[in-house]
Structure 1
């Protein structure tokens, strides 16, 4: 009474293109450059506006 049915399953293959090294390096540089600019902007704010009030 028990029947085993085999389902035809279509497997979808996707090709993932990886970034080239130069674009990966550029993206990383931009990210860390933004972190550095934000950090120095925060330091400038502290030195210019917060520390003179003490």
Structure 2
């Protein structure tokens, strides 16, 4: 008897799903990071650097 014949063979199907709400929330998160970064940069350029 072949060892392969004794084994249980199961098929596993993997479906790639793209959740649009997850994509949107990730976009909002990184857009928020950019807005905060540029806001701090704007503050530094307009208020802190002229003091020096």
| TM bucket, shorter chain | 0.5 to 0.7
TM-score, normalization by structure 2? 0.64
CA offsets 1:25-46 (integer angstroms, 9 cap, x no match) = 0000000000000000000000
* Count of aligned pairs between the two proteins: 35
Displaced runs of 4 or more, over 4 A: none
Alignment of 1:26-37 (within 5 A): 26-37=24-35
Aligned to 2:7: none
Aligned to 1:52: 50
Aligned to 1:40: 38
TM-score, normalization by structure 1? 0.62
> What's the Cα RMSD here?
1.0
